[in-house]
Amino acid sequence: FIEFVDIAGLVKGASKGEGLGNQFLANIREVDAIVHVVRCFEDSNIVHVDGSISPLRDIETINFELIFSDIEILDRRIAKSSKGAKNDKNLAKEVELLNRIKTHLEEGKLAKTFELDNEDEEEIFNSCNLLTAKPVIFAANVNEDSMADDGATNEFVA
């Protein structure tokens, strides 16, 4: 069965503690997949945190905050694993992989697009529980007028 958990919206700066920040990110870490509801309608009665409607900007904001959180996770893991890497060949390989993943994220790419070379790397990668490795479904939150034509006339729905 599928259980949906409604987690309050993320704001720019969440990875640094803004808004619900760290609590929000901790909640996401517990889920298997993310359904990202993106606002695709104008309504002067409902103010957008950024002052205008831009689904692409909102998606990018969330992705960057998730990337920043993943980089923090990798930094902690690299620091911990590096301590034993000098004497342990497996830990040295782990640190090398974690640094490659971190570089990938620092380029603004999601972890799910990182290419793994073998099952050992896949095991290490999966153990990191990176937020940007989780599957994502985007749901367009539209107004009732957009429903009449399945969103064909909504400028924000592609």
Residue 89's domain comprises 19-144
Answer yes or no: is 11 within a domain: no
How many structural domains is the chain composed of? 1
Answer yes or no: is 155 within a domain: no
Answer yes or no: is 9 within a domain: no
Instruction: Tell which residue, 75, 66, 56, has the closest CA to residue 14.
Output: 66
pLDDT exceeding 90 applies to what percent of the chain? 52
Please say if the pLDDT value at position 72 is more than 60: yes
Residue reference for tokens 């990018």: 60
Kindly report, residue by residue over 73-112, the tens digit of the pLDDT.
999 999 999 998 889 999 999 999 999 999 999 999 999 9
Query: What per-residue confidence (pLDDT) applies to 6?
Result: 78
Tokens of 144: 């009732």
Query: What per-residue confidence (pLDDT) applies to 19?
Result: 55
Answer yes or no: is 96 within a domain: yes
Answer yes or no: is 153 within a domain: no
CATH code, domain with 26: 1.10.150.300
Query: What per-residue confidence (pLDDT) applies to 102?
Result: 99
Answer yes or no: is 154 within a domain: no
Please say if the pLDDT value at position 15 is more than 60: no
Query: What per-residue confidence (pLDDT) applies to 113?
Result: 98
Please say if the pLDDT value at position 145 is more than 90: no
Kindly report, residue by residue over 21-57, the tens digit of the pLDDT.
566 677 788 889 999 999 888 888 877 777 788 999 9
Answer yes or no: is 86 within a domain: yes
Res. 68 pLDDT band, cuts 50 70 90: very high
CA separation, residue 30 to residues 90, 94, 128 (Å): 28, 23, 12
Answer yes or no: is 125 within a domain: yes
